[in-house]
Structure 1
């Protein structure tokens, strides 16, 4: 049985591939390398360089590699940018998912784990987001992920597709120093690049109604996220009961100030963050309850804040050493 990982050459997808290998599951990667890297692909894992918009290529890959399940990680993942590029976002995340589901139906592939997002919730006015919390996405990105979940739901009704969507907030850290977060929009890379450049990292607002005045968010380690994807795949493969969606949340979250403290401790670079104005629309706290995922997917927070930062920093240093060679 072979699992296809779309976007398997990207930051999260490459960790999912490694988790599948560790679990003894065969895998094939489909990635157009628009944001992924061939160097992230483990030796011996087939890489099909193709877009998820290319249904014919997906069908060929599924037949060639005898795919029995899909973990769908590929997509355009920049919520802020999606506001200015809505058509591109919908093409990649909605039309791409539609093409993937059509290819699966043609090849009789009947199980999929979908990498969704907590962006489907928007900015809910609750202390803890649960799976039942109202969906109110605020960006084309969040909307596209919610539509992806609807497509899976409707395909289940039509064909009996077995599926699970995994929602999460801020993915950080590294489970393999050879794989690192390359996003120009995520907190950890932004902070690291500022420090390396001799600049002072910035916090947007410190007057929120939180214990230290800074935003509280779910920061979850990428290796834990990857493990949950594999657990969902194994549950589908075993025909065990499974929920349509799970929140991969910490339950309590970390503040931006706590992250900054951990960064200073791990890097050995002392700094006092600059305090900038609040960003419009930033809620004080968004944290998800992960009880359902803990029950079914062995979900848990296995890393402290410092461990998450350390793994990310070590991968960042390794990447810099590699580029200097």
Structure 2
């Protein structure tokens, strides 16, 4: 049983690849390295450099490596930037998924685990998001992730009575942080953890955007989960699909509890030993006060659990950042 991981040279994708390897499962990676790193692909893992928009390339990868399932993480993942680059975002995330599904159909590959996002919810009007919370995305990125879920649903319906019915599930991520290995790190220029750590390493003061939200300390509350915990549930989903188990169409990978930006800053100072007082800045447009999700369904079906504390998340991210600086 071999699984193709699209985007497997990226931050999350490389952790998913490692989780498959740790459990004795064969993987193949396809990545165009637009945001990934070739060195994130372990030695011995076949690596196809290219875009999922190249349907013949994807088809060849599926056939050449006798792939039996796909974990689909490749895509353009920056919600804020997607507002300025909607056509690029739709091309990468929607057209790319169509291309992948087309190649899977031709190759007879019938299992897929899809990387979705909390961005499909927009600004929810509930304290804790569940899979039944209405989806109201507020960015092209969130829209494309929801459309990706629809594409899987519709292709599954269309193929249900054929010789190779598609089986699928989508995992909605919240704030993915930390590192499972010190040589695998988050290099995003937009995510909070690398922004704070890069600032501290450079001797700059990290910034809090908005201190007047209706939260206990006035800063935004988010649901932070460790990337290695996230990766374990991808393997569980893949195994469940391979075993023919019935899965929900979507799962939230959330903690059920929130952490504020100010709490993150406090944890950063404690772990790094760098004493600082964050710079306070106005709110950014579109930032909701609180987004926290229940992971109960994923805990039931996908071995989802919070194995790492906030300090664990920060410490692992800091170790990876220092390793990067030293290498």
TM-score for both structures, normalised by structure 1: 0.98
Asked whether 1:89 is paired with 2:89, we answer: yes
Structure 1 residue 19: deviation in Å?
0.2
Report 1:114-153 matches (<5 A). 114-153=114-153
Counterparts of 1:106-255 in structure 2, within 5 Å, are 106-159=106-159, 160-255=165-260
Give the deviation of 1:205 after TM superposition. 1.4
C-alpha distance in 2 between matches for 1:236 and 1:171: 24
Per-residue deviation, residues 207-262 of structure 1 (Å, max 9, x unmatched) = 21111111110111000111111110010011011000000011011111111111
Report the CA distance between 1:279 and its aligned residue: 1.4
Runs of 4+ in 1 over 6 A off after TM superposition: none
Q: Which residue of 2 aligns with 1:16?
A: 16
State the SS of the aligned residue for 2:84: coil
Give the Cα separation in 2 of the matches to 1:284 and 1:39: 37
2:290 counterpart residue number: 285
Deviation for aligned residue 1:311: 0.3
How many angstroms does 1:196 deviate by?
Answer: 1.2
Query: In the TM superposition, what whole-angstrom CA distance separates every residue of 1:146-195 from its partner, at most 9, and x where no partner exists?
Result: 00000000011011210010001111000011110000000011101111
Which deviates the most, 40-49 or 198-207?
A: 198-207
Residue number in structure 1 paired with 2:41 = 41
Q: SS where residue 175 of structure 1 aligns?
A: coil
Query: How far apart, in 2, do the equivalents of 1:32 and 1:95 lie?
Result: 15
SS at match of 2:21: helix
Structure 1: gaps of 5 or more residues: none
2:162 alignment counterpart: none
Question: What whole-Å deviation, never above 9, does each CA across 1:77-129 have from its counterpart, x for those lacking one?
Answer: 00000000000000000000000000000000000000000100001111011
How far apart, in 1, do the equivalents of 2:188 and 2:256 lie? 25
The alignment yields a C-alpha RMSD, in angstroms, of 0.7
- The aligned counterpart of 2:5 is 5
Could you report, residue by residue, the CA deviation over 1:281-316 in whole angstroms, capped at 9, with x for unpaired residues?
211111011100000011111111110000001001
Q: Secondary structure at 1:114's aligned position in 2?
A: strand
* 1:65 alignment partner in structure 2: 65
2:25 is matched with which residue?
25
